[in-house]
Structure 1
């Protein structure tokens, strides 16, 4: 009887330790669905990034509308393969987690196995993602969008360094957003 109780207790501890590890290995990011824009270039002069990374979609739940939400939610889990930018916020920081999850995948057209470039911002000193447009499908780490965004990040988000990439961003539907930031830089001179 002692052996059975001991075995049960060991299994219980191992299961709980495993669950705690998997939860701490996943970065949960809130969806700021009420923000008017989403994507890699938001705000009049360019909102600062808090986290940018490349990953692969590992799972997607079925979309659903709950009584407490004002939007259709679809949870997704993405492996974090390469971090391009991270910022420590007062209430959150990236601590080497292997996975990212958020619930803004509805109508994104993405599927499990897709490589993605994800751009997060901050809201009330927490990481946030303003919508599915902030999750860009890419071909991999050498995708032209990744190269362009890397230049943008290393220049402290100076839009002038990617001005020549405007047609690339126009193809993805973000040309007007980038133009807005470039125009703001001209006005601020």
Structure 2
């Protein structure tokens, strides 16, 4: 009967033999044969010399993971509700403007293609919806989404949402 220690030694001899490039028979024969004569050159191994394996494995893997930081996306809520032109929407007729508007507000703008009316249809934390109706018959509604920035251009007029609070919003029109 083979003991566990004898079996382990046999496996180790086999592994060393595979690493060096010879069999267990070659190892056993080398141990029982006399050393080569001085006139016979000693062959050099063609396989790399085996390296020692680590004797201990790590006992535990790291348990903490680096904290992930998610970039904060700005929202219209919480932005400054100060508008450069206040509630003076008449400034928007022919020039760039920054105005405070509310649900139901309505004002006119002039573009290179004619006049149009902007109506504030809805304001909420998710953004604002405007109706844009040109005197030429063109018209429709569009929403800003919840992030500040430009959300529609009509001819050369670019409309941006800057902030919302309750049923009010700050709009910027640039030309």
Q: Report the TM range for the smaller structure's normalisation.
A: under 0.3
TM-score by length of 2: 0.21
Bigger relative contact order, structure 1 or 2, given CA contacts below 8 A and separation 6+? 1
Normalized per residue, the structure richer in helix is: 1
TM-score by length of 1: 0.20
